[in-house]
């Protein structure tokens, strides 16, 4: 069987048999402890400055961002953004309780459907799990309330993120995710809108994924309404 043949060839190359139990134990322990390596100093900052770094890095990667003082203002910020970009007032939104609790009904002209995205959607609203200041990266783990297609199919992707969920380095976001349960099926780390440089090495935005990535950063500390 190929499995044994491959493992056997590796062991022959390493000039040993299967690892002795105690060494296997050590390696299992290393995986369980998952030690961190060198973390760049860039993100070792007080939280307020991490948020500022997150914003600066996101904008350097062609993302846009608006800061709102509390969650109740998210629907209006979304509506204003769509109007400003000449986009239709229709969106597919993650069926996440934090997003569904927002006062969308105060905007009767905005049509909001809580579901996964389809190929015809122009605008999606996703729930941001964490922001990583080091490179202005969003962490978007899949879950029934956070479908992956919302990160990908619409030309305009909006992500609602609480400022309190901005961390410094990727490692901190991994630890949060580990604390929340088993590894989700899909974890996307998203840094800016989709792009390609395949034509003459010249950067163009909007390859297969969203052409625009807009983050609404909610300052309100603690759980939203």
Residue 47 C-beta: closest distance to other proteins, Å? 21
Rule CB under 8 A: is residue 10 a binding residue for other proteins? yes
The two beta strands, 137-141 and 204-205, are: unpaired
What b/e readout covers 23-45, taking b as 16+ CB neighbours within 10 angstroms? eeeeeeeeeeeeeeeeeeeebee
Which of residues 99 and 143 has its CB atom nearest to other proteins in the complex?
A: 143
Burial of 61 (0-12, 13-18, 19+ CB in 10 A): middle
Rule CB under 8 A: is residue 214 a binding residue for other proteins? no
Residue 127 CB: number of other CB atoms within 10 A?
22
Q: Can you read off the two tokens belonging to residue 140?
A: 């978007």
List the one residue from 52, 122, 164, 189 that touches other proteins (CB under 8 A): 189
62-91 positions binding other proteins, by CB under 8 A: none
List the one residue from 69, 84, 108, 144 that touches other proteins (CB under 8 A): 144
Rule CB under 8 A: is residue 56 a binding residue for other proteins? no
Rule CB under 8 A: is residue 176 a binding residue for other proteins? no
Residue 54 C-beta: closest distance to other proteins, Å? 13
Residue pair 122/156 in contact (Cβ under 8 Å)? The answer is yes
Rule CB under 8 A: is residue 124 a binding residue for other proteins? no
Residue 83 C-beta: closest distance to other proteins, Å? 24
Rule CB under 8 A: is residue 5 a binding residue for other proteins? yes
89-108 positions binding other proteins, by CB under 8 A: 95
């Amino acid at each position: 069987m190929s499995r044994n043949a491959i493992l056997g060839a590796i062991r022959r190359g390493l000039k040993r048999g299967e690892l002795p139990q105690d060494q296997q134990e050590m390696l299992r322990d290393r995986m369980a402890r998952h030690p961190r390596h060198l973390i760049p100093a860039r993100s070792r900052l007080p939280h307020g400055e991490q948020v500022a770094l997150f914003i600066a890095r996101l904008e350097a990667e062609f993302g846009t961002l608006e800061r709102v003082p509390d969650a109740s203002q998210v629907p209006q910020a979304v509506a204003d953004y769509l109007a400003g970009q000449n986009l239709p007032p229709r969106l597919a939104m993650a069926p996440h309780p934090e997003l569904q609790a927002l006062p969308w009904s105060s905007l009767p002209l905005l049509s909001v459907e809580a579901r996964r995205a389809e190929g015809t959607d122009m605008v999606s609203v996703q729930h941001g799990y964490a922001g990583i200041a080091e490179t202005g990266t969003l962490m978007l783990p899949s879950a029934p309330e956070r479908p992956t297609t919302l990160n990908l199919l619409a030309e305009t992707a909006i992500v609602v993120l609480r400022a309190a969920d901005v961390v410094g380095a990727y490692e901190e976001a991994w630890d949060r995710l580990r604390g929340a349960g088993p590894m989700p099926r899909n974890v996307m780390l998203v840094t800016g809108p989709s792009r390609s440089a395949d034509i003459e090495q010249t950067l163009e935005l909007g390859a297969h994924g969203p052409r625009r990535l807009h983050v609404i950063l909610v300052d309100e500390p603690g759980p939203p309404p």
